[in-house]
Amino acid sequence: MGQNSHCNDFSTRILEDADHTEMSWSLASNADQKSGHINSLLKYVISNGSSMQPDETILSIHVIGTNLHKLPSNDLLLASEAYRVLINQFTKQLNEELVITIHLVDIIRCLLTGTALPTEYHSYLCSQQINQKKHDTVETAQPCIQLNISTVCYTLFTEYVMLL
């Protein structure tokens, strides 16, 4: 990742009291996700995606896919990397038969087009304890690399084709 070292500097805001709860996020409470929360989710997925449980992986796909429009263009590189991690983890979980495949088409549509998962499946995922865990918002400097949207789309399409 040929970024300058200052692009990777970040600090995590520690939640000291209830007055700062707006700075935390959970996968299950994505109804009004702010771009800072989405940005933190992207970083969380990149750092922890290879150890995510299936329900956490799938809900992350939904939250990121349905909120890409809230990201500044500078964060599209992070979104592309997070999608790569999620696709790898999801593929691994599929191969290990850890994913119930009844919603496989819905999940792939969400990955490719940002189409929301069906309401009943989304509600089920939100009810899972792993997806209700609170995370601190990570604050970072803007990435140093500008990325053309067509590059991100091509990367996501290539990852999808490799999944097939």
Domain ranges of the chain: 5-163
Per-residue pLDDT, 151: 54
- Of the listed ranges 1-5, 97-101, 135-139, 146-150, the least confidently predicted one is 1-5
- pTM higher than the cut 0.75: no
Q: Are 118 and 103 in contact (CB under 8 A)?
A: yes
Q: What integer pLDDT is reported at residue 130 of this predicted model?
A: 77
Q: Quick one: average pLDDT of 2-12? A: 33
Span 87-110, pLDDT tens digits: 999 999 999 999 988 999 999 999
Matching residue, tokens 């299936």: 54
> What's at 37, amino acid-wise?
H
DSSP 147-158: --HHHHHHHHHH
pLDDT at 154: 57
Q: Give the per-residue pLDDT at 105.
A: 94
Contacts of 9 (CB under 8 A, 6+ apart): 140, 141
Write the DSSP string, 67-115: HGGGS-GGGHHHHHHHHHHHHHHHHHHHHTT-S-GGGHHHHHHHHHH-P
% residues pLDDT > 70 (the chain):
59
Secondary-structure percent of the chain, ordered helix, strand, coil, rounded to 5? 70, 5, 25
Residue predicted with more confidence, 139 or 162: 162
Per residue in 93-124, is it b (16+ CB within 10 Å) or e — as a string?
A: beeeeebeeebeebbbebbeeeeebeeebbeb
